[in-house]
Chain A
């Protein structure tokens, strides 16, 4: 197997607060190979964006990496200084944030922002950068790109802004793309176009991608493997087909059952009752046990780590095989 582009080992992120330390991420480990798309799904608040922020070195203080390592092509990047990390961001790691407005500067036109990014990271001249800026706007499906390259962000619709953010992340041709909800504001047709573009980059340039999204249709189409997060940990990770079609973790099963059907209308959608625990009150044992339909005695006492669950790895005691039998 080739060396992974990204490797995350035992990542732990903490938020010190007056009332004690909150653990936002705990024992998070995964790797992404060249050309591979890792989908990341899970409950809102589970720590998906936090994982992305830790990788690109933009954890919001007082949040901090309290343990583990992050490696980009074998080099540690979790302990770099801000300036060093800033150079890696944009050039080697492209980031698409969940909130397009925070990425775009309201005072500059979208064309200037694209050109500026390329001039910072690529050996090209201003005229070339301007030409490529229009090209990128076309690639992400902005109509009349040549006319609208001089628009300001507020003159674009929500989905158009999101596409500008995607173009910004891709235009310096990074090795790793961390994409947080890149297609939520997009209609299905533009979404198909963006996904085709991302897949082409992965295939042709070997770009690795971490794709955070709630849209299971997008996951099914784009991801090679999927990680499911719950309360700051990975609950299950495996090949996309197995995780979506035959989940081994009860939380994943509940999540998949909640997808609204497209082919008919139902009176009431399936939902997982209850709410995810707050960071300050994560239950002992398995964090999912108060909501789990399969809970048994051990679940409330011991915390399960990821273990072999056949087709996938799942952090669930249902799949525990005592060493004597293994």
Chain B
């Protein structure tokens, strides 16, 4: 079903990693190849000017999806469509590359240590010819640094002269410098104090309102996710288990894993409530459990769950992959 408003689309994305030991070691212990299914069949769409967030346990595949969405990782199978075109074609054209950018989970790794901050932020502006002449480029750099709460004078320094959160802001300024239309944000504010975080989130919302930016947003902080998202996808072991409008997910979470996740949120009210970590073992993505991957930890699991993998199906405004929800026994 073609939808005019859809700007970015993930079609059945799969990404495997070969994590076998070196061949000689493997022969010595007679061990086969080991394939890790980091992402195992994920589909979603993001309408223009909206934000889709991905949440889920550490290691469930969020960053891998993020990297596939901007073409940094190839797909084992499946496609990414960007503004109606296959991402591979879109990225081949340099005027298209400008339109998608990513803010990385690890800002240290993404900043060139030998470049001054002003050059780091100016590089996309120069490469894509977004400002003409030295003064115009510098003015734009100064504007970007100010927007993320740094000083234009900071442009003369090198990345190692900044604190963790300041470096995070440099990478945000750099990502914004090419005037992207689609921005993938992998934990963009987790290194920031709550006040600077509020400043950055407010800036992202302003840009979205003014320029219609589209975001794929990843964060472990569910309060932040609630503030920025239009829709939220909950991932578990490489698959989407629930996809819902943001407010719906927080008011009526349906999948047992989503509910467990909500129980584990830290308590600021200091009511003395102990957090309930999601019980049981985190399964291995190398040997995922059969049937529903959540079944070893699910209070509602039954025989069918252990045998048959639930599909992501519509349940009112929500999409849920759970037999209990579909059978009406999830309460």
Contacts and interface: CB of A to CB of B under 8 A. Distances in A.
Contact of A157 (B63, B160, B169, B278): B63
A44 B164 CA distance: 7
B300 interface: no
Nearest to A45: B163
A269 B266 contact: no
B268 A214 contact: no
B222 interface: yes
A112 to B, nearest CB: 14
B3 interface: no
Contacts of B281: 143
A184 interface: yes
A215 B164 contact: no
B168 to A, nearest CB: 8
Given A151-B19, A192-B264, A258-B195, A45 B58 contact: no
Contacts of A221: 266-267, 270, 275
A48 B164 CA distance: 10
Contacts, number: 197
Interface string B155-183: 00000101111101100000000000000
A183 to B, nearest CB: 9
Contacts of B205: 268
Nearest to A48: B163
Contacts of B193: 41-44, 46, 214, 255
Interface residues of B, number: 69
A274 B283 CA distance: 46
A202 to B, nearest CB: 16
A153 to B, nearest CB: 12
Instruction: Sort chain A's interface into a size bin.
Output: 35 or more
B128 interface: no
Contacts of B59: 143, 156-157, 159-160
A144 B149 contact: no
Given A43-B193, A190-B58, A269 B282 contact: no
B150 A260 contact: no
B265 A262 contact: yes
Interface in B267-282: 267-270, 275-278, 281-282
A151 to B, nearest CB: 7
A218 B266 contact: yes
Nearest to B201: A269
Interface in B227-266: 227, 246-247, 260-261, 264-266
B165 A44 contact: yes
A216 interface: yes
Contact of A184 (B190, B286, B287): B190
Given A102-B108, A215-B221, A193 B277 contact: yes
B106 A101 contact: yes
Q: Which of A42, A102, A262 has the most CB of B within 10 A?
A: A262
B112 interface: no
B154 interface: yes
A259 interface: yes
Nearest to B190: A184
Contacts of B276: 192
Given A44-B166, A258-B194, A192 B187 contact: no
A59 interface: no
Nearest to A161: B106
A258 B201 CA distance: 11
A181 B105 CA distance: 14
B57 A265 contact: no
Nearest to A155: B19
B330 interface: no
B17 interface: yes
Question: Which 10 residue pairs are nearest across A and B when measured between Cβ atoms?
Answer: A44-B165, A159-B58, A217-B266, A144-B284, A269-B198, A271-B198, A143-B282, A262-B223, A258-B195, A192-B275
Interface of B: 17, 19, 21, 55-59, 63, 105-106, 108-109, 149-151, 153-154, 160, 162-166, 168-169, 187, 190-199, 201-202, 205, 220-224, 226-227, 246-247, 260-261, 264-270, 275-278, 281-287
27 contacts: A42-B193, A44-B165, A44-B196, A45-B162, A45-B163, A45-B165, A50-B163, A60-B160, A98-B191, A101-B109, A143-B283, A143-B284, A155-B17, A181-B191, A185-B220, A187-B55, A187-B56, A188-B261, A192-B275, A220-B268, A255-B193, A258-B198, A260-B197, A262-B265, A265-B246, A266-B227, A270-B198
